[in-house]
Structure 1
Amino acid sequence: MTLEMRNIVKSFGANDVLKDISFSIAGGEICALLGENGAGKSTLMNILGGVLPADAGTILLDGKEVQFSTPAKSLDAGIAFIHQELNLVNDLAIYENMFIGREIKRKGGFLDAPAMIEKCREVFARMDVDIDPSLMVRDLDASYKQIVEIARALLMKASIIIMDEPTTSLTEPEIERVFDMMRTLQGQGVAMVFISHKLKEVLAVCTRYTVLRDGAMVAEGPVEGVTVDELATHMVGHQVRTESLRQERELGKEVLRAEGLSQERFHDVSFSLRAGEVLGFTGLLGDGRSELFQAVFGSGGKVRGQLYLEGEPVQVHSTQQALALGIGYVPRNRKENGIIKDMDILENGSIVTWPRNARLGVIDWGKVREGFQKQAQGLRIKMDSEKNPIGSLSGGNQQKVVLAKWLNADPKVLIFDNPTQGVDVGAKEDIYDTILALANQGVAVVVLSSEAQEIIRLCDKAVVLYHGRVQGELSGEDMTDQEIMRLATGGEMRERVESVG
């Protein structure tokens, strides 16, 4: 199948999101669609997927003009869309989610659950993923929810598959399995649009690239011969930093210390964090780092062991208590945990400071607005109006609003859980600058990330977890991709076994 989108135009009010964009892809191609958050990538694909109407322009499939007024009509034409934000129903089982709208039924109209479960098992077997299709989606973490999204797209048997940030929450082995499947589909003549901010992945799996900037196409061509730096420069319009961002700074007193923290997903974890320090935690899927710091923040249930804040023993039982103690947490799953969809941008970016800016239960919105505007300016949040819905912003700008919320609270300790997940290279550098500025101001910072390069570039030290236990602590020249991966896969444990033998 061959797709052509010609002279596509789309505006939201006075904001021209797409300016005369033309895009094409043919069967057997994997085309990267690149650009910063807000460049127009998702809007262009939402038009193709029947989610949004174009203001002008035409879409042709195999030379025939088509119009998609609904996602169902786009899917009927052979176009499957894996959206950036998870689109699953938490209160349904995995197999029910995968067959929504396409349920297998017995004679008489009754649902054939065993048949649907078996089909799910076949897809998961192809992906080499061990998941029980009968599990409820709410019991999965974000990584496995993304895997279910990808598996659902594979069931569609589409001729064109749009993948919007499909690998954001996946580990390296899982990403490679996805890439293997993409190459298999490519050999079968399937066309794939790959939207990603991970430019190394683009070079690894894509055949072509198209770059949008501020709603206009600025570059396109074959992936062969292009570099990560060149793609990044096309995206932001200037050269992007790739050097280490670690800075020599005088660290203050110990702010946070953990001794022997244990729970179901982590075991006997101890660490120390000083004022002005950026401490990284990394590992592979299931390493327990998110659960560990959710417990530190008072949202992860009862935990064994002892936590000390500025030398005093504390037991954090709630997020309200954590906030009162000066501990903040920027969650990784923005849609489910970071934003409140029914609130506007200002409300989302200030909610944790409402009690501080209220007298007799009445919020002083002047002070609230003043604090948010200061953070919005520093973070360079792109928005038309702070009263617009939070959903009107791109993913990267939503993440900045979540960050503004916590910066307004003046925390002593600020925990970032995958802070640049689904964020473009320009917004990523802004967030890095903010983290370093916080450290320079004496805030104790924790960065949880599955990206080794993010940890290496940003953090003063790195704690590597393996199956919920501290496998090693790295700093300086020892903090390399190879050493992090060796520890994250249990390397140190294997060495100890060999030495005993």
Structure 2
Amino acid sequence: MTALLELRGVDKAFGSVRVLQGVDFTVESGHVVALAGENGAGKSTLMKIITGIYRRDAGSMKYRGQEARFANARQSMDAGIAMIHQELNLLPALSVGENIFLGREPVDSTGRILWGEIDRESRHWLGQLKQNIDPRTETGKLSIAQQQMVEIARALSMNAEVIIMDEPTDSLTDVETKILFDVVDHLRAEGKGLVFISHRLGEIFQMCDDVAVLRDGAMVHQGPVSEIDEDTLIRHMVGRELSDQYPFVPAVPAAVRLKVEGLVARGVREVSFEARAGEVVGFAGLVGAGRTELGKAIYGANPATAGTIEIDGAPMRIGTPRDGVRAGIGYVTEDRKLEGLIQSHGLRRNMSLTGLFRFSGSSGHIDKRAERAEITDYINAFSIKTHGIDAVVSQLSGGNQQKVSIAKSLVPKPRILILDEPTRGVDVGAKREIYTLINELKAQGLCILLMSSDMPELLGISDRILVMSNGLLTGSFDRGEADQEAIMRCTVAGLTEGTVQ
């Protein structure tokens, strides 16, 4: 095999903090290399060095046998290196075609953009992903999964030799993931070199030829996937044994905390259910089933047009997120970049944003000392890797940003916590920390609604599982009777029957 990309002894520091230490990394032609590691291990920094966003402090990088030092992302792109970002880098107000060819628009001899060619080429690359999306559609009107496919189509359109995929399946359904895997197989057969970053360990063993593991900025392993098992991979990642991946603690029977009757909202069709204090109720369903819309309707971000919500027996009028917070509801969005966090602000401002009323007295002045003390407690409790309490959120890894988003929802001290894809883009060690936190919150009496597309996660930590399809509740399972096959039957019931079971 020929090394398309080869890094040797790469160092990178930000101030006094060493992020990468003597890293060696190789991507061969026709190979898919998994890059694994906990959040904050240095994966994003290493990829930003490869793509020209950061400059390395020491070490060498060869691309196609030649020494390479890219001054910016455009230079790496022009050289044939493309990256599919975990945090979508699309402009929602532009069309799909404009996003796919942004900065690379085909023009005629007079400099006019060739819109017909953009439309034709966009349809071609979306077709490779079996996506029937009109390139003229405004990108912001697409689902998160569809936007992820647009991001992938953009990378494919560059005809790059090295393609970096950062958590590409996080928002995709099983069907879409299978399509992507077929595309990866095709690219591998063409001799492309692919870097596959995923916290879903099953995908690494299913898709990749080699696996490289970063831990605390150092490369601790790189070799064939066939020569390693999952337990060993986890041990390389976290530096310790990690047993009991889903540390479930049974719920203690308690009073009904949340009662929803006949709720109707955008994407939600007359949904009724109850959830108890100290219980985790999981919500399963395909992308577009209505799980997110239901969570937002309860919280007040997707105004209900009919139905009632009761909390601890008291009727609630919830028309805005402010109403939801005041009613004692916390909400963690599936899209932390667009909806969950203000990327240009620091941890303290983000985490206390919805709970500032807890730190202000009758005068309206914020008790900064109390605010800083509580935020510091959350940073320590969640093991958030940061340079300080006021570090800018955009500088954190995706997993650490997710921890900030969860902490933000807890600062107002809610009675009900809605978690929409809480472990998306989070490594195995941090996932277990989040599951342990969920158990602690259960023990404190919180009522937790868990919306997740990760079936093992739902089966592993839920006390009950409700299934949604086409905006309807189509199934309900106690923990002991829930299995993947039964749940999957219910996920399509609403599409074919249109009735609540």
Fold shared per TM-score above 0.5: yes
Match of 2:441 in 1: 438
What does residue 499 of structure 1 align with? none
Of 302, 308, 322, the residue aligned with 1:320 is: 322
**TM-score scaled by length of structure 2:** 0.96
For 1:396, the equivalent position in structure 2 comes to: 399
Matches of residues 165-180 of structure 1 in structure 2 within 5 Å? Answer: 165-180=167-182
Matching of residues 54-133 of structure 1 within 5 Å:
54-133=56-135
User: Alignment partner of 1:148: what SS?
Assistant: helix
Classify 1:272/1:427 alpha carbon distance in 2 versus 1 (closer, same or farther; 3 Å). same
Closer, same or farther: CA 489–232 of 1 in aligned 2, 3 Å: farther
1:459 matched to 2:462: yes
Residues 420/244 of structure 1: CA separation in 2 closer, same or farther (3 Å cut): closer
Which residue is equivalent to 1:473?
Answer: 476
Do the aligned partners of residues 241 and 468 (structure 1) sit closer, same or farther apart at CA in structure 2, a change above 3 Å counting?
farther
Query: SS in structure 1 opposite 2:268?
Result: coil
User: Do 1:49 and 1:79's aligned partners in 2 also have CA atoms closer than 8 Å?
Assistant: yes
Aligned partner of residue 383 in structure 1, secondary structure: coil
- Partners of 1:105 and 1:412 lie apart in 2 by 57
1:281-296 matches, within 5 Å, as 281-296=283-298
d(CA) in 1 for partners of 2:44, 2:218: 13
Match of 1:350 among 349, 352, 361: 352
Q: Is the Cα–Cα contact under 8 Å of residues 32 and 193 in structure 1 kept in the other structure?
A: yes
Letter paired with 2:203: E
Q: Which residue of 2 aligns with 1:411?
A: 414
Q: Which moved more, 1:186-195 or 1:111-120?
A: 111-120
CA distance in 2, matches of 1:491, 1:218: 48
SS at match of 1:138: helix
- Other-structure match for 1:429: 432
CA–CA separation in structure 2 for the residues paired with 1:292 and 1:477: 25
Measured against aligned partners, the alpha-carbon deviations of 1:51-83 in whole angstroms (never above 9, x if no partner) come to: 100001111123211110111110111111112
Secondary structure of 1:239 counterpart: coil
Counterpart Cα distance in 1 of 2:246 and 2:8: 42
Q: For residues 297 and 492 of structure 1, what CA distance do their matches in structure 2 show?
A: 26
Q: How does 1:258-337 map to 2 (within 5 A)?
A: 258-337=260-339
Give the Å deviation of 1:346.
Answer: 1.1
- Quick one: which amino acid aligns to residue 206 of structure 1? C
Distance 1:130 1:251 in 2: 47
1:192 Cα deviation from its structure 2 partner: 0.2
Instruction: Give 2:487's match in structure 1, choosing from 477, 484, 488.
Output: 484
Aligned to 2:389: 386
How far apart, CA to CA, are the structure 2 residues paired with 1:466 and 1:39? 38
Larger deviation: 365-374 or 353-362? 353-362
The C-alpha deviation readout for 1:344-392, integer Å capped at 9, x for no partner, is 1111111122122113221110111111122222111122211221122
Deviation at 1:242, TM superposition (A): 3.9
SS in 2 for 1:60: strand
Q: CA deviation at 1:492?
A: 10
RMSD: 1.7
CA contact (8 A) 2:469 2:494 kept: no
Structure 2 runs not aligned, ≥5 long: none
1:362 and 2:365 matched: yes
Q: Indicate if the aligned counterparts of 2:32 and 2:209 stay in contact, CA closer than 8 A.
A: yes
> Any conservation in 1 of the 2:375–2:389 contact (CA below 8 Å)?
no
Deviations 1:408-456 (A, max 9, x none): 2110101001001111111111111111100110000011000101101
The Cα offsets for residues 228-259 of structure 1, whole Å up to 9 and x where unpaired, read as 22212211111223454332232321111111
Q: Indicate the percent of aligned positions where both proteins have the same amino acid.
A: 39
In the alignment, structure 1 residue 377 sits paired with structure 2 residue 375: no
CA distance in 1, matches of 2:330, 2:473: 23
Distance 1:385 1:202 in 2: 33
Deviates more, 1:455-464 or 1:259-268: 259-268
Is contact 1:452–1:484 with CA below 8 Å preserved after alignment? Answer: no
Counting only pairs closer than 5 Å after superposition, residues 151-166 of structure 1 correspond to structure 2 as 151-166=153-168
1:149 aligns with 2:148: no
Residues 200 and 329 from structure 1, CA distance in 2 versus in 1: closer, same or farther, beyond 3 angstroms? same
Matches within 5 A, 1:130-279: 130-242=132-244, 244-279=246-281
Q: Distance in 2 between matches of 1:309 and 1:491?
A: 28
TM score, norm. by length of structure 1: 0.96
1:42 Cα shift?
1.0
Deviations 1:433-483 (CA, angstroms, capped at 9, x unpaired):
111100110000011000101101111001111122112111223222222
SS in 2 for 1:268: strand
- Which whole-Å CA distance do the structure 2 matches of 1:248 and 1:225 have between them? 37
Distance 1:493 1:98, change over 3 A: closer
In 1, the alpha carbon distance for the partners of 2:231 and 2:484 equals 19
Q: Tell me whether 357-366 or 87-96 shows the greater mean CA deviation.
A: 357-366
SS state at 1:201 partner = helix
Q: Is the CA contact 1:251–1:276 (under 8 Å) kept in the aligned structure 2?
A: yes
Match 2:54 to one of 31, 38, 52:
52
The one-letter code sitting in structure 2 at the alignment partner of 1:199 is L
Letter in 2 for 1:76: D
Could you say if the C-alpha distance between residues 480 and 321 of structure 1 is closer, same or farther in structure 2, counting changes exceeding 3 Å? same
Contact 2:423 2:434 in 1 (8 A): yes
How many residue pairs were aligned?
A: 496
Q: Does 1:9 align with 2:11?
A: yes
In structure 2, the residue corresponding to 1:50 is in which secondary structure?
coil
